[in-house]
Structure 1
Amino acid sequence: MKAISSTTRKLLELSQLSGVGPATLRRFASDPGIDTLEAEDIAASNNALTDALDDGRLWRTARAKAEAQIEACEQIGARIISPVDKDYPSLLSSTKDDPFLLYVRGNFAPDPEKSIAIIGTREPTPHGIAIAERMTDFFVGAGWSVVSGLALGCDAIAHRQAIKSGGHTVAVLAHGLHTTAPARHRALAEEIVESGGALVSQYPFGAPAIGPQFVQRDKTQAGLAQGVVMVQSDLQGGSLHASRAILAYGRWLIVPNPTDRDRIAEEPKVQANLLLAEGNDRDKMDLLRIKTPSMLTKLLIVRSREDYDIVLKKASLGGNDAAVIQPSMF
């Protein structure tokens, strides 16, 4: 498999120029002759780039930077894709937060639209561990790919269980493919690729893992999935980023109800679940940062294993289910 298509190569080169962002790249991507455009053509079609390209050294530097990224991909068997490529995930491209370039090592699922994100706290309770394993098994058994973030706790549990169950899993990273964070998950990252799954990043080789990138990574997790299973989270947990994003995309947020044991123990890592399961609509809207109560119809509370089939049915319909689902039904 080629590391990059000819069209995406040119777009990657353009992305290395100062002043070129996703909006500019999308305009160029719509040009059927993008492959043959030279610096002069680009400058003529975009006034903002005229100064940058008047100096030929800037264009040569941009092309050299792009080539370095391509060579880095080739060294580890990865590739760079953009929305012009057939294997760019359609679920992701239909969101408002889709990254223009994706760095991919491994393979997406044969049917990437059958994907569910399973995420949660880095410190799950025993019930959290069990629910992450059970829901992963359930979706894998139904032929779905499991998306997560390679983090400690619920993410790693979901990846490992998917592999153990013979399923497909995708890890979305908040840094370049040159490294693994946390470092202790290097072996897990290799297992994901070796099992037929993929490591995916919107960040180039050399990009370190820094705070804001985790938020964007979480949105990409949601973008790759029909729904997000938020296994457990406290009221300020990072899992809420993907949970908010999935509702913004008109898709399903699936929240397991806390056990009596976790409630009695007042476990901090289930407080977001508890609020979403039993709180009033105003508090739920505040936590999820949504403006209208109607968006809560995409919130599914799982109270027992009997609800799994309902969750699967809803997720299978994506955002096209016209039925109004009341959280109290679950």
Structure 2
Amino acid sequence: MKAASPTPAMDHPATFPLLTASKLHGVGARTLSRIAREIRQWGAGTDPERVVRSDPRVAQALSETGALEAATRLARADLQAARAQGASILCELDDAYPALLRPVPDRPALLYVLGALRGQDPRNVAVVGTQEPTRDGQRTAARIAGRYALEGWSVVSGLALGIDAAAHTAALEAGGHTVAVLAHGLDTLSPPRHRELAQRIVAAGGALLSEYPYGTAPLRPQFVQRDRLQAGLSLGVILIQSSEDGGSLHAARAALRYGRLLAYPQPSAADAAQGGRAVQATLRLLGGVDLESYLKCDARALQRVFRIRGREDYPELDRRLLALTPR
């Protein structure tokens, strides 16, 4: 799968040194972000490669025989794969790096992007939920995602079955922008049946985004990280439906942890009466019992939990979302 219009694989001069460092043993995202901050502090005229090499953890990793050569080879392979696909590799110093991710403490130092982001436009909202929604839940996801797409917001989701697919599809049908956050490299797709949907997203001017390099297979822990990235990219997360311990709660909790908003639609009367697994989480939020423990947050964060009862609540929801725009 290639981008509709190929974009530069790499732009900022710090990207390749950081990409190379990311291939070294023991060098993780925290180290890379620390190095990026140092490069930014030094300002124009700084040699990014020199700053990268001077980091103690990088220097230690480079002391291993053949480490630099192996890391460089792997970095070049990523760069070549991105160019062949028409994708971009962004470091957090890039102008195109999403603005909402910059203040997130565990942000990825590097992003792999196929398609087009709207990096400096803060009007991003994540619409997430279970892979096994009720019919009403599916309709609610489509209605909410379509409404935000029509209003010019970018709809962020995870390309999973169920609610995610409904959100992406509704955004596309509304002629809007949507971003699919992946839990694997851009050279694969999970689930495979959503390949056509992924192609539609890119062709319509949206993007597939991952923090994982080429060759990374979809593994369970990475989906948790993917969920937190959806929250970091957005002013708020709208949790449509989820079981009581569903994976989408990772995005919901991350939203509150990052100082963003968590919204949820009140279940339909039929779904509430049936009380199935798909609405367990929203019913618990509606009940309001021991939410600090359930959402793993403090009492102040609960002020950023918003119930959507109907369309009359959207103006207030929009106001609260936009009030969280970084200044």
Fold shared by both chains (TM-score > 0.5): yes
1:97–1:220 contact (8 Å) kept in structure 2: no
1:34 alignment counterpart: 47
Q: Helix, strand or coil: the match of 2:66? A: helix
Residues 50, 137 of structure 1: alpha-carbon distance in 2 compared, 3 angstrom cutoff: closer
2:158–2:230 contact (8 Å) kept in structure 1: yes
1:48-99 residue CA offsets vs partner (Å, 9 max, x unmatched): 4445434563211111110000001011100111111111111011112211
Runs of 5+ consecutive residues of structure 2 not aligned to the other structure: 1-6
Structure 2 letter corresponding to 1:34: D
Query: Equivalent of 2:129, from 95, 120, 128?
Result: 120
2:317 alignment counterpart: 311
1:268 alignment counterpart: 277
1:251–1:319 contact (8 Å) kept in structure 2: no
Residues 262, 14 of structure 1: alpha-carbon distance in 2 compared, 3 angstrom cutoff: same
Matched, 1:222 2:231: yes
Q: What is the rounded CA distance, in whole Å, between the counterparts of 2:90 and 2:119 in structure 1? A: 17
1:181-260 maps to which residues of 2 (within 5 A)?
Answer: 181-260=190-269
Q: Helix, strand or coil: the match of 1:228? A: strand
Matched, 1:297 2:310: no
Structure 1 letter corresponding to 2:136: H
1:97–1:219 contact (8 Å) kept in structure 2: no
Shift of 1:34: 3.4
1:122–1:152 contact (8 Å) kept in structure 2: yes
1:323 alignment counterpart: none
Q: What is the rounded CA distance, in whole Å, between the counterparts of 1:122 and 1:15 in structure 2? A: 33
Residues 110, 201 of structure 1: alpha-carbon distance in 2 compared, 3 angstrom cutoff: closer
Q: Helix, strand or coil: the match of 1:12? A: helix
Matched, 1:4 2:10: yes
Residues 50, 142 of structure 1: alpha-carbon distance in 2 compared, 3 angstrom cutoff: closer
1:270-305 residue CA offsets vs partner (Å, 9 max, x unmatched): 01101101232x2x2221111x22211100011112
TM-score, normalization by structure 1: 0.90
Moved more, 8-17 or 235-244: 8-17
Residues 111, 16 of structure 1: alpha-carbon distance in 2 compared, 3 angstrom cutoff: closer
1:93 alignment counterpart: 102
Residues 111, 138 of structure 1: alpha-carbon distance in 2 compared, 3 angstrom cutoff: farther
Identity in percent = 42
1:20 alignment counterpart: 27
Q: What is the rounded CA distance, in whole Å, between the counterparts of 2:65 and 2:319 in structure 1? A: 56
1:96-175 maps to which residues of 2 (within 5 A)?
Answer: 96-109=105-118, 111-175=120-184
Structure 1 letter corresponding to 2:10: I
Q: How many residues align?
A: 314
Residues 106, 231 of structure 1: alpha-carbon distance in 2 compared, 3 angstrom cutoff: same
Structure 1 letter corresponding to 2:287: E
1:28–1:34 contact (8 Å) kept in structure 2: no
2:292 alignment counterpart: 285
Higher-Rg member (1/2): 1
Runs of 5+ consecutive residues of structure 1 not aligned to the other structure: 321-330
1:174–1:201 contact (8 Å) kept in structure 2: yes
Q: Helix, strand or coil: the match of 1:261? A: helix
2:4 alignment counterpart: none
Shift of 1:243: 0.2
Structure 2 letter corresponding to 1:192: I
TM-score, normalization by structure 2: 0.91
Q: Helix, strand or coil: the match of 2:14? A: helix
Shift of 1:111: 4.8
